[in-house]
């Protein structure tokens, strides 16, 4: 980005100073060399000093960065006077002094604008990360009331007729709530997400009975890969709440997990009514999409295919992160 900006500035300066007796291409070459040399020297120095600058307040880090840009400009201006023009450096000489002042002012103005741009970009990313973290916390801290109430009613009805099943359901519900509330990691192994998803489905199956059927198809090696917490379970919840629950005869939730083009592809599809009265697919899925964007910076995606009788959610996550590699 810095190289492209520098070259754009070189073109602008060439056009602004173009005269009939000056070769335009030679002028462009001189401007390009000058600007790129200063920019690359400044960026290289800033990269080396990044650990030290990161610990300083923003205002001090910005001032030091501007001083570095001006220092690089001063050094290059000195080199160009002594070696390119073959002149003896004399700060009292009017032409040299003006040349120095012009370069320093231009570098100061352009450097300040660029530093301000990068600062605003950093603040925007930080704000987006905080907002996404807050959404994640909100998602982790919430279980749909209807699911919780329905689960408790089912468990209450089972306590007398089937205490063992009721006990298992209580354990699954407590594990699911604990995973929802306590997990603060950005990424967890897919195996944990699948386990939580199966516990959720086992509770829903107590309520829906034979109307709810699940077909799992997980390719070998996928369970070790890392995914955001609460990324699979909401897909299953949508499939049950907006699909299976609305159908009198029920249906099958198909879950397919595979590797495709170095991406972990998780597909959840469910039958649905042609004109469903429930319009809630977007809330949880938009939340997942935003978290994928922040965590993977455009490398992950969540696709939705809404046909007449079938709804499909396809989540693609980079497969280069694994539980084994992280530990």
315 or 288, which is more confident? 315
pLDDT tens figures, 231-279: 898 899 889 988 998 898 999 999 999 999 889 999 999 998 876 555 5
Residue 140 has pLDDT above 60, yes or no: no
pLDDT for res 160: 80
Give residue 145's pLDDT band: very low, low, confident or very high (50, 70, 90): low
118 or 184, which is more confident? 118
Long-range own/partner contacts, residues 127-134 (CB < 8 A, 24 or more apart): 128/294, 129/294, 132/290, 132/291, 132/294
Q: Is the pTM of this model over 0.85?
A: no
Give residue 211's pLDDT band: very low, low, confident or very high (50, 70, 90): very high
What sections of the chain are H helices per DSSP?
2-16, 24-48, 50-54, 58-79, 94-140, 145-161, 163-182, 190-208, 233-242, 281-296, 323-326
Give residue 20's pLDDT band: very low, low, confident or very high (50, 70, 90): low
To the nearest whole number, what is the mean pLDDT of the chain? 83
pLDDT tens figures, 309-325: 899 999 999 987 654 44
- Taking the C-alpha atoms of residue 136 and residue 290, their distance in angstroms, rounded to an integer, is 10
Residue 327 has pLDDT above 50, yes or no: no
- Taking the C-alpha atoms of residue 11 and residue 234, their distance in angstroms, rounded to an integer, is 52
The dotted CATH code for 141-326 is: 3.30.565.10
pLDDT for res 215: 95
pLDDT for res 3: 87
Taking each helix axis from N to C end, the angle separating 24-48 and 58-79, rounded to the nearest 10 degrees, works out to 140
Say which DSSP state 225 is in. Answer: B
Q: Which of 212, 214, 248 is nearest to 232 (CA)?
A: 214
pLDDT tens figures, 102-131: 888 988 888 898 889 888 988 888 887 777
| Encoded tokens for 15 | 């056009």
Q: 3-state DSSP call for residue 322? A: strand
pLDDT for res 176: 77
pLDDT tens figures, 73-108: 888 888 877 776 666 667 667 777 787 888 889 888
Q: 3-state DSSP call for residue 270? A: strand
Tell me what the mean pLDDT of segment 51-57 comes to: 88
Residue 137 has pLDDT above 70, yes or no: no
Residue 165 has pLDDT above 50, yes or no: yes
Tell me what the mean pLDDT of segment 32-49 comes to: 89
pLDDT for res 258: 95
Q: Which of 63, 61, 68 is nearest to 43 (CA)?
A: 68
pLDDT for res 130: 78
pLDDT for res 275: 65
- Taking the C-alpha atoms of residue 195 and residue 197, their distance in angstroms, rounded to an integer, is 5
Question: Do residues 204 and 241 lie in contact, with contact meaning Cβ atoms separated by under 8 Å?
Answer: no
Evaluated on CA atoms 192, 196, 201, 206, the torsion sign reads positive
pLDDT for res 191: 93
pLDDT tens figures, 255-268: 999 999 889 999 99
Question: Do residues 169 and 200 lie in contact, with contact meaning Cβ atoms separated by under 8 Å?
Answer: no
- Taking the C-alpha atoms of residue 65 and residue 114, their distance in angstroms, rounded to an integer, is 11
Domain extents in the chain: 2-138, 141-326
Question: Do residues 79 and 42 lie in contact, with contact meaning Cβ atoms separated by under 8 Å?
Answer: no
Q: ∠ CA 241-300-124 to the nearest 5 degrees? A: 100
pLDDT for res 207: 82
pLDDT for res 326: 47
Q: ∠ CA 241-147-210 to the nearest 5 degrees? A: 60
Tell me what the mean pLDDT of segment 38-52 comes to: 90
Q: What is the DSSP string of 78-140?
A: HHIIIIIS-----TTSHHHHHHHHHHHHHHHHHHHHHHHHHHHHHHHHHHHHHHHHHHHHHHH
């Amino acid at each position: 980005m810095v190289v492209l900006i520098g070259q754009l500035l070189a073109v602008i300066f060439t056009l602004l100073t173009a005269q009939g007796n000056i070769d335009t291409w030679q002028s462009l070459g001189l401007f390009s060399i000058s600007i790129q040399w200063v920019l690359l020297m400044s960026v290289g120095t800033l990269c080396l000093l990044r650990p030290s600058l990161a610990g300083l307040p923003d205002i001090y880090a910005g001032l030091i960065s501007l001083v570095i840009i001006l220092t690089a400009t001063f050094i290059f201006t000195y080199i160009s006077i002594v070696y390119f023009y073959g002149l003896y450096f004399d700060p009292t000489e009017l032409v040299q002094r003006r040349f120095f002042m012009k370069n320093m002012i231009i570098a100061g103005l352009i450097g300040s604008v660029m530093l301000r741009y990068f600062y605003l970009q950093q603040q925007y990313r930080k704000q987006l990360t905080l907002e996404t973290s807050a959404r994640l916390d909100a998602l982790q801290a919430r279980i749909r009331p209807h699911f919780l109430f329905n689960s408790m009613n089912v468990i209450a009805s089972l306590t007398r007729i089937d205490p063992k099943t009721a006990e298992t359901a209580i354990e699954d519900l407590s594990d699911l709530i604990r995973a929802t509330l306590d997990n603060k990691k950005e990424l967890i192994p897919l195996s944990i997400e699948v386990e939580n998803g199966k516990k959720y489905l086992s509770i829903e199956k107590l309520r829906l009975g034979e109307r709810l059927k699940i077909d799992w198809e997980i390719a070998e090696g996928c369970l070790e890969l890392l995914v955001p917490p609460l990324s699979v379970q909401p897909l299953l919840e949508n499939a049950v709440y907006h699909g299976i629950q609305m159908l009198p005869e029920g249906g099958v939730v198909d879950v397919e997990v595979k590797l495709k083009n170095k991406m972990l592809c998780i597909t959840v599809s469910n039958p649905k009514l042609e004109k469903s009265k429930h319009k809630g697919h977007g809330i949880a899925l938009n939340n997942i999409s935003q978290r994928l964007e922040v965590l993977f910076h455009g490398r992950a995606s969540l696709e939705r295919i809404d046909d007449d009788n079938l709804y499909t959610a396809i989540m693609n996550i980079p497969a280069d992160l694994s539980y084994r590699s992280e530990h």
